[in-house]
Structure 1
Amino acid sequence: MNREFTTVAVVGAGTIGLSWTALFAAHGLNVRVSDPRPDVAEAVSATLTELAPHLAAQGLDVDRIAERVHVAADVTEAVRDADVVQESGPERIEFKKDLFATLIRQAPQHALLLSSSSAIPATAFTGEIDDAGRILIGHPFNPPHLIPLVEVVPGERTSPDVVEATVAFYTRVGRVPVVERKEIPGFVGNRLQTALSREAIYLVEQGVVTPAELDQVMTNSLGIRWATVGPFLGAHLGGGPGGYRHLAEHIGRSMNQMSLGQPSQRPEAQQRLIEAVEAAYGDASYADLAATRDRRQLAVLSALDSDHTKEN
């Protein structure tokens, strides 16, 4: 069944929620924002101004973006007429249990109830909710107005129709939804990110490279490759004409003999790592570093989009 999406409630106006707000509004949706922070109106206004160039670079019309966003007095007002609710609150099970129990009562019965949860599966906070069929995870990567991926992770009781509608919604706002077939803490993206992060920390702890040098290794090799083909296709190509089979049967054997490291759990080791990262990047402000990241990510997205257009 096709659904119309006209109004979205964003519950939680932190970094993720504000980015969602700008994205939804730029796609012509009416957005209702709820957050108890006292400066929520100022934060929303500043974010829309700051992110407008990013959205315009993606071909979106941002001339009237602010007119589509309303700061609600509370959650009840925000979700009253919502077709979709995107929760982006704290990563705490008890918080989500209480909030989604409220959303079930206050949001329209047709509304999709989506959580930006980074690691907690929907089943973990919906066990006591009778009508859990329209609750699931819609986990973005930061910042969601730029990074296309949304991990769509149904709970044990999520309706298949709701999953289908959720995919349609995220596609409607220019994202790339990937439905994951099993719930697992951290989902797929963050588990991959954590695995890489562990080895990165280990290599720095062992004195193999500094944090800045490790970042150079990534941005000048795997980062470029994975932005275009991903690990499995990259490995398939790495096997030459013989493909993944050749890689697995030959190079893969020596790679499998390599044992990965385990970062230290000692507080003093963590403190040394923090100081090393701060020594590498602490002189630059968060705003400057984020602006550089976003500018480069836009350039990558533009190149990929241009290549995709040529292929079609």
Structure 2
Amino acid sequence: MDHAHTACLGAGVIGASWAALFLASGRSVAIFDPSPEAEAQTRAYVETAWPTLTRLGLTERGTPDALTFYSSAAGAVDGASFVQENVPERLPIKHAVFAEIEPALAQGAIVASSASGLTLTQMQGGWTDPAPLVLGHPFNPPHLVPLVEVMGNERTGPGIADAAAAFYESIGKVTIRVNKEVPGHVANRLQAAVWREAIHLAKEGVASVGDIDKAMWAGPGLRWAAMGPTACFSMGAGPGGLQAFCDHFKETFNGWWDDMGRPYLDDETIAMLVDGAAKAAGGMSHEDMLARRDAMITAMQEALRPHREG
């Protein structure tokens, strides 16, 4: 199934970004969002994202105009074979939307949730039969960052998770399969682990918030954009590979892990982070920071694409 007609439920930052990517791939997109500003904001987002998507070679079959807007979730999913759900992460809202769309779904339609904080099992409670539902969790912004975490379970229909992954990959995404349900899935937990130690280092006065961020983007962040930490470490001890690396550094890492902190986001810690981040930003506006981030991600994607394809 080529999923020529899709739907996005919720058109905030995540939903609008998904819509831009679906449009770029040559698909039409139906949008539901109760906000009266949703249509104007979504069209503006797509217009802003389109040049970047074109730079990445993703708009050859698409048009930004294949958008329709609906006043109900059921209306938006009518005739759509792939539905990306992005409504607020409050279980009663998710359940209400799922209950509304279930009777209106086309035969064989897939519904993928962008949820980051809720589990698939929790969301399935809003269905009579949750066979069409999978987790399809992106990284922000979905039209630029390739990752999608895909998960089904024993209540997911046969082949649905595989079909969702195939759809995402057909529009340029990189998928991983989540095999066991844990809070935060995979990538958010990795982020949380790194941020926890970054906060600990700042609280202990080891380095400033800005320098800790700099240590990441100028150091391991560059390597991790190419390969993950285990693959990188497997090259860190020469031809002996990961076994040699672990033999050499196991006590070093065990000592570091024993010494790592367990900070919490209390008011004092948050104030320290906010102040440190503001100093590091040097007066740059939120909009300028977003533009800078997206420009750098786009440049990295352009540079890495031939190596990924190879």
Query: What TM-score do the two structures reach when normalised by structure 2?
Result: 0.95
Q: Residue in 2 aligned with 1:65?
A: 63
- Cα drift, residue 239 of structure 1: 2.2
- Cα drift, residue 73 of structure 1: 2.2
The C-alpha deviation readout for 1:143-198, integer Å capped at 9, x for no partner, is: 10011110001134112311111111111211112111111110000000111111
Aligned equivalents of 2:220 and 2:62: distance in 1? 39
Give the number of aligned pairs: 308
- Cα drift, residue 128 of structure 1: 5.3
Q: Residue in 1 aligned with 2:80?
A: 82
6-15 or 275-284: bigger deviation: 275-284
Preserved contact between residue 96 and residue 125 of structure 1 (Cα < 8 Å): yes
Q: Structure 1 residue runs of 4+, over 3 Å off?
A: none
Preserved contact between residue 10 and residue 32 of structure 1 (Cα < 8 Å): yes
Query: CA 1:53–1:256 in structure 2 vs 1: closer, same or farther (change >3 Å)?
Result: same
Preserved contact between residue 119 and residue 190 of structure 1 (Cα < 8 Å): no
Query: CA 1:178–1:68 in structure 2 vs 1: closer, same or farther (change >3 Å)?
Result: same
- Cα drift, residue 282 of structure 1: 6.4
- Cα drift, residue 136 of structure 1: 1.1
Any stretches of 5+ residues in structure 1 without a counterpart?
Answer: none
Q: Residue in 2 aligned with 1:301?
A: 301
Query: CA 1:215–1:62 in structure 2 vs 1: closer, same or farther (change >3 Å)?
Result: same
The one of 9, 12, 30 aligned to 1:11: 9
Q: Residue in 1 aligned with 2:251?
A: 253
Aligned equivalents of 1:253 and 1:136: distance in 2? 41
Letter in 1 for 2:96: D
Q: Residue in 2 aligned with 1:107?
A: 105
Q: Residue in 2 aligned with 1:138?
A: 136
266-275 or 175-184: bigger deviation: 266-275
Aligned equivalents of 1:46 and 1:63: distance in 2? 20
**1:22 is aligned to 2:20:** yes
- Cα drift, residue 265 of structure 1: 4.7
The C-alpha deviation readout for 1:8-61, integer Å capped at 9, x for no partner, is: 110001100000000000000010011011111110111111001110011123
Paired-residue identity, %: 36
SS of residue matched to 2:149 = strand
Q: Residue in 2 aligned with 1:54?
A: 52
Preserved contact between residue 31 and residue 68 of structure 1 (Cα < 8 Å): yes
**1:40 is aligned to 2:41:** no
Query: CA 1:120–1:155 in structure 2 vs 1: closer, same or farther (change >3 Å)?
Result: farther
SS of residue matched to 1:160 = coil
Query: CA 1:41–1:189 in structure 2 vs 1: closer, same or farther (change >3 Å)?
Result: same
Aligned equivalents of 1:63 and 1:235: distance in 2? 40
61-70 or 239-248: bigger deviation: 61-70
Q: Residue in 1 aligned with 2:167?
A: 169
Letter in 2 for 1:5: H
Query: CA 1:279–1:105 in structure 2 vs 1: closer, same or farther (change >3 Å)?
Result: same
Preserved contact between residue 117 and residue 183 of structure 2 (Cα < 8 Å): yes
The C-alpha deviation readout for 1:117-154, integer Å capped at 9, x for no partner, is: 01211111213523111111100000100111100011
Q: Residue in 1 aligned with 2:203?
A: 205
Aligned equivalents of 1:128 and 1:44: distance in 2? 27
Aligned equivalents of 1:11 and 1:103: distance in 2? 10
Query: What TM-score do the two structures reach when normalised by structure 1?
Result: 0.94
Preserved contact between residue 154 and residue 183 of structure 1 (Cα < 8 Å): no
The C-alpha deviation readout for 1:68-107, integer Å capped at 9, x for no partner, is: 1112222121111110110011111222122112221222
Preserved contact between residue 135 and residue 155 of structure 1 (Cα < 8 Å): no
